[in-house]
Amino acid sequence: MSITIIIKRVIYALLLVMLLNSPTVVALEENAPEGVTTRLVIQISENDPLKQKLALSNVYNLQKFYGMDNIEIEVVAYGPGISLLYPDGKEASRVRSLMAQDVIFTGCQNTLDTIKANTGKEQKLIEDVEIVRAGIARIIDLQGQGYRYLHP
């Protein structure tokens, strides 16, 4: 076995040890409410009906797999993906249904400001959608709190 292969294996082993001992894994255990074993943030940044539908199906399937009381999910929509949160959108009834099952949906104020600047009209979102200043910053903050990340 060459020295290069040995060095690569040692580096991979060290990276694995560092990953398993990372603060993110510890934060998940420390910050999660009692009973919650998994916390997930899902990014929606495209106006692609198939991807949006897939993301909502992922939410439903994960709740079914883990049990609704064992998983926290937040869907963060920004850029063209904000269309998922339109009250008259194709998936609006599914979004409302998932919100009733404690899934948090978050919209980006920066995106809403851009829409208003470009169209002159204020875009409304589904009632009770949370608004944050910057969607991508929200995702980063949630990852810092131990949330896992998914971008379908």
State the pLDDT confidence band at 119, using cuts at 50, 70 and 90.
very high
What are the domain boundaries of the chain?
23-150
Give the count of alpha carbons within 13 A of 105, CB side only.
Answer: 28
Cβ–Cβ under 8 Å, residues 152 and 49: no
Query: pLDDT (tens digit, 9 = 90+) per residue, 27-75?
Result: 444 555 567 789 999 999 999 999 999 999 999 999 999 999 999 999 9
Alpha carbon distance 114, 28 (integer Å): 34
Tell me which of 125 and 21 has the higher pLDDT.
Answer: 125
Alpha carbon distance 75, 105 (integer Å): 5
CATH for the 23-150 domain, from 1.20.140.10, 3.40.1260.10, 3.40.30.10, 3.40.50.2300: 3.40.1260.10
Alpha carbon distance 85, 92 (integer Å): 7
Alpha carbon 67 to its chain centroid, in Å, reads 18
Cβ–Cβ under 8 Å, residues 126 and 96: yes
Alpha carbon distance 135, 60 (integer Å): 22
State the pLDDT confidence band at 130, using cuts at 50, 70 and 90.
very high
The pLDDT score that the predictor gives to residue 94 is 97
Query: pLDDT (tens digit, 9 = 90+) per residue, 75-111?
Result: 999 999 999 999 999 999 999 999 999 999 999 999 9
Alpha carbon distance 152, 143 (integer Å): 16
Minimal CA–CA distance to 77: which of 117, 46, 53? 46
The one-character DSSP state at 104 is: E
Cβ–Cβ under 8 Å, residues 81 and 44: yes
